């Protein structure tokens, strides 16, 4: 269990983390979601003891990260946004070094390193210098370092940034596999990524926690959308004519025409339901409708609503409270666990590339600056 209490971080006058308060249960996958600059990395750096807080507390498995840093940190594996890789070391040397830092006993070291090398598929490149690896491989090495020793909690800051789609799928599968036995916390500014793997999402905006719930509940919070979509074979000018005098319509947006079918979105004025009126308007003129439906609210809408505006909409806060109140107990339901089991059984498909085809970095010095992060 992880507890973050009233966490504040100021950089000079800038409030990067603004009174964050949350508890995370063991065994789930949590996603920190927020736009760039929201305060995700700062929060993770504080949670892992890499950065001091201005105010507040972080308790990891009952241990305060400041008062008992060693006991607290021992439970965490961390992949920071810029993994602290030593460019002049080989993969194997680096992982053995990391095992040393984690105080993995000497006799278990070989086995521990072998195990993570197999898990993230870097065994084939273990003799290569890290500086000669591609971004994807470096990210795997960083991940191997985080997972080494299999701490209870694995924290990954934007683990898929800079990776190609295939590598992203591989990392995602690895996260699913790890989630079987570990609490995983990952951050991303990309919604689709978080929704794929997380049981629970914490949306952070301007240093504040603006929402935290399951993806499904978050979608419920905005209520119904105010957009009705129609499909028809009627020409745009005729659609507009038919809808012109229908009360409650804010505006009509004709979307596209495919195979002679036109799709249009009708935005309603606040509190109106214009579906029946649209139907009558069309039927009254002898026009046909192929589809008439209210669009559903997507997690995307929720994310935009919460992170683009200065304040969280009141309706959202109200709904959030209602859902929290109606929730009986905070226990993961059985269905969830079954799903987890299924995906965990599937072997991750991270492919072990032939070492000969491992992409090598251009010797153009473009990445020289990386050494500064050591
Ligand atoms: P995220 O990871 O969500 O993109 P960060 O935690 O990196 O956000 O940054 C949060 C805010 O704090 C940003 O406005 C960023 O510019 C600022 N910030 C981060 N690190 C520093 C620092 N070392 N000094 C000053 N400001 C910082
Ligand atoms: Mg960040």
List the domains of the chain with CATH numbers. 2-75+151-220+330-351 (3.40.50.300), 227-294 (3.30.70.260)
Nearest to 211 by CA among 317, 64, 117: 317
Distance of CA 53 from the midpoint of ligand 2 (Å): 16
- Residue 208 beta carbon below 6 angstroms from any ligand 1 atom: no
- Tell me which residue has its CA closest to atom 10 in ligand 1: 39
Q: Specify the pairing of strand 63-64 against strand 55-60.
A: antiparallel
Distance of CA 372 from the midpoint of ligand 2 (Å): 18
Question: Helix, strand or coil for residue 39?
Answer: coil
pTM: 0.74
- Residue 230's pLDDT is 94
Cα 155 to Cα 322: distance, rounded to the nearest angstrom: 31
pLDDT tier, 159 (very low <50, low <70, confident <90, very high otherwise): very high
- pLDDT tens per residue across span 26-45: 999 999 999 899 999 999 99
Cα 149 to Cα 216: distance, rounded to the nearest angstrom: 34
Best probe residue, ligand 1, of 17, 39, 206 (max atoms within 8 Å of C-beta)? 39
Length of the chain as a residue count: 374
CB 209 within 8 Å of CB 202: yes
- pLDDT tens per residue across span 6-25: 999 999 999 999 999 999 99
Distance of CA 40 from the midpoint of ligand 1 (Å): 8
Q: Evaluate if residue 82 carries a pLDDT over 60.
A: yes
- Residue 304's pLDDT is 77
- Residue 234 beta carbon below 6 angstroms from any ligand 1 atom: no
Q: Evaluate if residue 335 carries a pLDDT over 50.
A: no
- Residue 333's pLDDT is 45
Q: Tokens 């009233």 map to which residue?
A: 6
| Higher-confidence position of 203 and 162 | 203
């Amino acid at each position: 269990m992880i507890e973050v209490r009233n966490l504040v971080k100021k950089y000079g006058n800038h409030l990067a983390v603004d009174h964050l308060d949350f508890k995370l249960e063991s065994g789930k996958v949590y996603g920190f979601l927020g736009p760039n600059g929201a305060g995700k990395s700062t929060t993770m750096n504080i949670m892992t003891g890499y950065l001091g807080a201005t105010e507040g507390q972080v308790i990891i498995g009952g241990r305060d990260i400041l008062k008992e840093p060693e006991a607290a940190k021992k439970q965490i594996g961390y992949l920071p946004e810029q993994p602290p890789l030593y460019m002049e070391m080989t993969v194997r040397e680096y992982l053995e070094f990391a095992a040393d830092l984690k105080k993995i006993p000497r006799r278990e070291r070989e086995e521990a390193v072998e195990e993570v090398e197999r898990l993230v598929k870097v065994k084939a490149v273990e003799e290569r210098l890290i500086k000669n690896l591609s971004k994807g491989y470096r990210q795997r090495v960083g991940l191997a370092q985080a997972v080494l020793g299999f701490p209870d909690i694995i924290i990954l800051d934007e683990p898929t940034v800079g990776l190609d789609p295939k590598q992203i799928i591989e990392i995602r599968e690895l996260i699913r596999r790890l989630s079987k036995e570990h609490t995983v916390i990952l951050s991303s500014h990309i919604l689709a990524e978080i929704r794929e793997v997380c049981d629970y999402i914490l949306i952070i905006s301007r240093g504040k926690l603006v929402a935290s719930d399951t993806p499904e509940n978050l979608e419920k919070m905005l209520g119904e959308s105010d957009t009705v979509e129609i499909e028809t074979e009627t020409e745009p000018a005729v659609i507009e004519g038919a809808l012109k005098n229908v009360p409650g319509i804010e505006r009509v947006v004709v979307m596209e025409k495919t195979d002679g079918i036109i799709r249009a979105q009708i935005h309603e004025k606040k509190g109106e339901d214009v579906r029946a009126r649209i139907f009558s308007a069309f039927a009254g003129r002898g026009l046909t409708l192929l589809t008439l439906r209210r669009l559903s609210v997507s997690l995307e809408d929720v994310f935009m609503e919460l992170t683009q505006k200065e304040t969280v909409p009141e309706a959202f806060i109200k709904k959030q409270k209602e859902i929290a109140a109606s929730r009986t107990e905070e226990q993961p339901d059985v269905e969830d666990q079954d799903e987890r089991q299924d995906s965990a059984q599937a072997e991750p498909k991270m492919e072990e590339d032939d070492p000969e085809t491992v992409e090598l970095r251009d010797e153009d010095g473009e990445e020289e600056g990386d050494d500064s992060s050591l």
